[in-house]
Amino acid sequence: MNYRWGPDRIGYKLGLHPSTVHRVLSRYGLSKLTWQDRATGRTVRRYEHANPGDLIHVDIKKLGRIPDGGGHKVLGRPAGKKNKAGTFANRRPGYAYLHNAVDDHSRLAYTEILTDEKQETAAGFWKRAKAYFDSVGVTVKRVMTDNGSCYRSKMFAEALGQSIKHQRTRPYRPQTNGKVERFNRTMLEEWAYARPYASETERVKAFHGWLHDYNHHRGHTSLKGRPPASRVPNLTGDYS
């Protein structure tokens, strides 16, 4: 039975040093835990397309808005909860919907903070995202999305047009769209939850600077420490 244990747990169980267990696992070509799907234990195959635009990963991240005056990270949990529902202006501040498009080869990202995830909104976002990629010399050939209703709509298909192939992730396998999922996590860690914000307006104001830094300055592990702009010819050297 596959318990998906790492060298530490196996070593403790067998009375062996973890490094010994690691050597044995490597000798038999067994996958690292980070290479496996948590639910099934199957090996997740990592890939990277050869050129910018060969595949664009598209996704939506739902994010709770911050009430004016701050939430629990600014005021503490009791006061933050009271502030969220205590006034008419702050009652049910709702959600922001971050529509993201990430290039598979370069990890170059285009994002808009929008009000919903309806088909009209998703289609409009894609048109503007494509215009952005066109403007930096990236010709989009394929787009990958999940199976959300907005992406299955006729309106989104029309926005893609005939020249762009639409791929969808396998059901219940979000890791298929892993590069945009990883971007989502980075975005939350380094922008959305990076520091206490006193309002949603303050957080939104900080976003564009963070996105510019991500695309032009932030070193990416999978790019050997270089930023996405280093892999997009029309952006190379634009580090202002």
At residue 84, the pLDDT reads: 52
Q: Quickly state the pLDDT bin for 34 (edges 50, 70, 90).
A: low
pTM, entire model = 0.73
**Average pLDDT of the residues of the chain:** 82
- For the chain, the domains span 8-37, 56-231
pLDDT over threshold 50, residue 35: no
Give pLDDT tens digits for 130-171.
999 999 999 999 999 999 999 999 999 999 999 999 999 877
* Per-residue exposure over 6-25, b if at least 16 CB sit within 10 Å of its own CB, e if not: ebeebbeeeeeeeeebbeee
Rounded Cα distance, 117 and 140, in Å: 22
pLDDT over threshold 90, residue 175: no
Closest CA relative to residue 145, chosen from 128, 122, 162, 112: 122
At residue 1, the pLDDT reads: 42
Give 136 or 33, the one with higher predicted confidence: 136
Give pLDDT tens digits for 42-84.
544 556 777 999 999 999 999 988 877 554 454 445 544 544 5
Q: Tokens in use for 12?
A: 């403790």
Give me the mean pLDDT over the 104-127 stretch.
Answer: 97
At residue 63, the pLDDT reads: 93
Pick the CATH number of 56-231 from 3.20.20.210, 3.30.420.10, 3.40.640.10, 2.60.40.420: 3.30.420.10
E strand or H helix that includes residue 112: strand 109-114
